[in-house]
A = this chain, B = another copy of it.
Amino acid sequence: MPSLKRDPAEKARARHDAPKQAEILSQTRREHANEIAEDYVEAIRDLVAETGEARIVDLAKRLGVTHVTVSRTIGRLQKAGLVTSRPYRAVFLTERGGNLAVECKTRHETVVAFLRSLGIPKHVSEMDAEGIEHHVSPETLDAFKTALRDTRK
């Protein structure tokens, strides 16, 4: 019968790596909060590069959500200082938003190139990179770049 108050020895063992694991998972959750911001600034940057401006409808199409969701999220990004927006006008990146976008873009490209270098097909690389890129630390990104250099040699 499982007891409500467990053997302290077992508890200690169970808890041994718990704080460390908890910290890792908390960190991963924190990263997730940034994923959407990164996806948005990347999309805004692309649209501005392609058409000169980022309209809410086009962001909605590119991100696969409704314009309502985009509109609300843009409000949050504006509060976060990543974009500027005025009612019924296009959205643009602030300097901070632009820097983040560039960082995301290069990181994305590195991850895709690295996966491709492992022989993974293009569409799979693109798909996986979209999820992976938000969880790649600078150290790991460097390791990817190094591996790419070595492959090309």
Binding site for B on A (CB under 8 A): 2, 4, 6, 10-11, 13-15, 17-19, 21-28, 31-32, 39, 43, 47, 50-53, 55, 58, 61-64, 88-90, 115, 118-121, 124-128, 130-132, 134-137, 139-140, 143-144, 146-147
Whether the Cβ atoms of B131 and A2 lie closer than 8 Å is no
Whether the Cβ atoms of A28 and B131 lie closer than 8 Å is yes
Whether the Cβ atoms of B63 and A22 lie closer than 8 Å is yes
Indicate the member of A32, A125, A130 with the most B CB atoms within 10 Å. A130
With A120-B140, A132-B136 already in contact, 7 other A-B pairs whose C-beta atoms are closer than 8 Å: A18-B58, A22-B64, A25-B64, A31-B131, A115-B143, A120-B139, A130-B135
Q: Residues of B contacting A28 with CB < 8 Å?
A: 130-131
- Within the complex, what minimum Cβ distance (angstroms) separates A63 from chain B? 6
Report how many copies the assembly holds. Answer: 2
Whether the Cβ atoms of A50 and B13 lie closer than 8 Å is yes
Partner of A119, one of B27, B119, B143: B143
Whether the Cβ atoms of B89 and A2 lie closer than 8 Å is yes
Indicate the member of A25, A31, A144 with the most B CB atoms within 10 Å. A25
Closest to A47 in B: B14
Q: Residues of B contacting A39 with CB < 8 Å?
A: 25
